[in-house]
Chains A and B, each alone.
Chain A
């Protein structure tokens, strides 16, 4: 038996909205540790890893490990039927072929349940090695989303270069070129607006903007985004979900010709 109750049900809807454009079908892995998903996008260029810890839920019960295969698009459609302030409860039997989403309005006057059929999905779990990154940038997630969107009007790829002076996002295209530089700054009153650059050595890598724009769909989940880079390694774009976990996206850099 799996049962998980989330007062802020809207959180799961935001999570689905931040994954469904990249991944069609995936397994949610339920265990006593929590509720997790790891999946590659259809072109196998990027990897999503999201994890919600069991202690972040108001109630969490998972008698035995369970892998729930779902169409993310269909699950997102169901979660769209949830009110913004609803409490969400997910339930699934150990050997069942469906998962139930129950939505309770804050005043308890409306209770609805939606059942989603599960699918068998073959997926290999990848091990992600711990890495000491050359540079890690923490910045407002909305600023990162804006930069990726703005640069997409000019080019298809972005060069992200971290130096001690700041982080520069550059692109070129048929109509011209663009650069946005963000400098580190702290703001005691508004920590969500600060930019923190932790650099061991300068690093510059090129990425497809299409993917970064998909990752930025996670912006509503967190005020800040953390971008970690090392030479010739995938970038990690991580959104921390307060008191619960994170969603992290891995994207391989473009190879120079």
Chain B
């Protein structure tokens, strides 16, 4: 039996402070309203799935969000359901690269 070395006690919380509570949107569908869904919309905006100019996102699962979810699933090789299923939520919550998936915002020219 392997005895755990006390110096290896795990102390770091693996949840990201921004995305860890996105599980609450699991199975949310068109028309549903979940408090904080605007943060999910900000996530999709951040990675290129919602247009940049929008700033006042609502907490409603609307057409625009459904379109973003579908596009995200397509881009990330997930089953395309247009819904916030467990595969999709789990992928959204995974740590990732900060480069946008669609707009490729980090593309400045050399100074």
Q: Do the two chains bind?
A: no
Chain A residues in the interface with B (C-beta under 8 A):
none
